[in-house]
Amino acid sequence: GEDVEQSLFLSVREGDSSVINCTYTDSSSTYLYWYKQEPGAGLQLLTYIFSNMDMKQDQRLTVLLNKKDKHLSLRIADTQTGDSAIYFCAEFSSNTGKLIFGQGTTLQVKP
Amino acid sequence: KAGVTQTPRYLIKTRGQQVTLSCSPISGHRSVSWYQQTPGQGLQFLFEYFSETQRNKGNFPGRFSGRQFSNSRSEMNVSTLELGDSALYLCASSLDVGGFYEQYFGPGTRLTVT
């Protein structure tokens, strides 16, 4: 079945780069997404990548996709304290028509 | 354009009661999905409605049900509430055009069952 795994916690210093990693199992995934959740809020779509792409850059965000290893990463350049949040990766499975989320990575940014 | 709205934002119920949560999607979005978020289980897919029809369903008991109206607004209902139903219930809407599934989430309804 589908499964998405993420590390649970990442701590970085303000100004450093953050890299959040994710692995998935469903080879039929068409789109992969990164969402951000701040305390008490819903999920905010940050960026996405189509499965036939290797990389996508969007301002401070860079998404890398290794389809062979089913590995997705989100790099945040010049991390700010406002980036502190939980980050979820998600895959859309064309087999099931469902969006499957990882368990979320808590990013802590220290000043 | 207004975002996804969910009402109520907070709810306290007792075991055995039932509850109805409401979601208004972004104007023009016809797909509405519901998720349950708990610290232990994370984000779990409940069901998805598209044009008033349930298009997909997660692995939840029959106590969890939903519906969608002709204006795309959706409601979900939980009957015979259990303590374990305490969670943040998130609704998301999407255009769902050409297989691209970009979901926009509402702020959620925080349900506490006592």
Q: Is the pLDDT of residue A1 over 60?
A: no
- Quick one: which of B91, B71, B106 has its CA closest to B20? B91
Mean pLDDT to the nearest integer, A100-106: 93
What are A87's two structure tokens?
Answer: 């980050």
Cβ contact B14:B68 at 8 Å: no
8 Å CB contact between B110 and B19: no
For residues A78 and A15, what is the distance between their CA atoms, to the nearest angstrom? 4
Q: For residue range A2-35, what is the model confidence (pLDDT) as tens digits?
A: 689 999 999 999 999 999 999 998 777 778 999 9
* CA distance readout (Å), A62 to A11, A20, A76, A78: 18, 11, 7, 12
Q: Which residues of B have a CB under 8 Å from any CB of A?
A: 4, 33, 35, 42-43, 45, 48, 55-56, 58, 90, 92, 99-108
Q: What are phi and psi of B64, to 5 degrees?
A: -95, 120
Q: Is the pLDDT of residue A102 over 80?
A: yes
State the pLDDT at residue A100: 87
Predicted local distance difference test score (pLDDT) of residue B91: 95
> Does the distance separating the beta carbons of B33 and A99 come in below 8 Å?
yes
- Is the confidence at residue B99, as pLDDT, over 80? no
Rounded to a whole number, what is the distance in Å from the CA of A70 to chain B's nearest CA? Answer: 19
